Structure 1
Amino acid sequence: MPDYGLVSIIMPTWGCAAYIAESIASVQAQSYPNWELLIQDDCSTDDTPEVVRPYMEKDPRIKYACNTQNSGAAITRNNALRRAQGRWIAFLDSDDLWLPQKLEHQLRFMTENEYAFSYTAYEEMNDEANPMGVRVSGPAHVTRFGMYSFCWPGCLTVMYNVSVVGLLQIADIRKNNDYAMWLKVIQKADCHLLPEVQARYRRGRVGSVSTHGYATMIGWHYRLWYKAMGLNAIASIFWTGMNLICGVYKKLRYVEHCAITLTINSSGGGKITPSASI
């Protein structure tokens, strides 16, 4: 297997002691070995540090740090990004999972095609890590206009090339901070889909975004454009509206309801046919 360079995996965490061991194990199971896992704790009040410690003691690639005070996901990701030493940046939240060949396949896809920014398809699982029979994909090629229209990539699937994007730091917003990152990355490079299921997203955990109503999420989208992106009120309302319209389109076009069991082919991914550019 070629050595594509070091991958820095950004894993913010807060109160995920019940899930983080499984997330760490999914990283350790990667067929591509040249990675560092940067766990950034936002002052968890549960047993997260105790759960992480034995993994860190046995595997020097796993590196834990804790914020000086509870700061939210945006600042937590910023802190982890400043610690990163890799050529590539990837993201995995502390309750989500990767399939074993996620890094290998995505690195090959990006290197062979000279892409600096990519994402993959993923499947949803419930709070107990059981498949929900839902697979989520997206456009094969996302331009700047396309990314402004909607947050197509799932955070747990994104990877970008640091030499093209540089050090990424985002505004301190409590929600939609992953979208704020992609809006910055898209200024430097278009985003491309690897049409394989290579990750599993945990839906329905108490306190997660997927448990909130539409009115709340609309407010978060407006604050993203107005506060994080610095747009005026009219532009913020316009892009919030575009996000809502494209959100409906995504559900109709890119969310596939299928059998509960996920079939993994011999190359390590469930194949999904990519779509046209946006």
Structure 2
Amino acid sequence: MSANRPGAITPMLPSGSFDGRVALITGGGSGLGEMIAYHLAALGATAVLIGRRADPVEAVAAAIRKRGGSADAFAADVRDRERVEEVVTETVARYGRIDHLVNNAAGNFRVAPEKMSPNAWNAVVRIVLDGSWHCTQTVGRHVIGRGGGGSVVSIGTTPALFGGADTAHSASAKAGVLAMTKSLALAWGTHGIRLNVVTPGLTDDTGAIGQLFPDADDYQANLAKIPMGRHANRDEIASAVTYLLSDHAGYITGQNLIVDGGRSLGIG
């Protein structure tokens, strides 16, 4: 997607909802992270993108600036705690603060659990759970240190709630992120820090669909289980994320917003 920028961005929130704010978005070079960055920048935030490779995040940041928004980019692997701390320190040095964090970086693929190697398990859990922890704790320490007030949204997955027979690594890691979110919402409420999860269903123009449903018949079978008869689009997920980050959701914390067209109702 990074090679084919989206068209006009139409955020759901009022213009200027994030004026003066700085938002850190992991996995910001493509997919949901890219679209969330566009929405936040269109609403007035400085969108700071993190990705393992420099080129994709720098391309998104450049495209945001071309549209008149404010954006920056860092090459960083969220599994590397030291590098995460460097990025947070440099962001604060450049912009004076960090107000919001989106934990979007992830890894996933289908594999039978009895065939999963230790490396496969560790690869996903370290990105999703460890990476989200590194970023959340580091940003949280900054926010607490400057007097509090901020918000975090992590991207979840429905198998974390209902099980994933061939995505046990991802489901387990995302379940950990949900537990982390609830725990820190309890711990940091007194600092004015809100933490929530947005759990999307399958979303068009993201890498997950191609990785998880490469077979056309499997793709159609899954689509038929969605009551609304379609996948989400990236704008819909970005709108949910920006809402929960914003002051319009100022009394919501420790929650999981499922945006899946009703797919999980049949499972639950």
TM-score over 0.5 (shorter chain) = no
Tell me: higher relative CO, structure 1 or 2? Use CA pairs within 8 A at least 6 residues apart: 1
Would you tell me which structure has more strand in proportion to its own residues?
Answer: 1
Would you tell me which structure has more helix in proportion to its own residues?
Answer: 2
Please report the TM-score for the alignment, with normalisation by the length of structure 2.
0.35
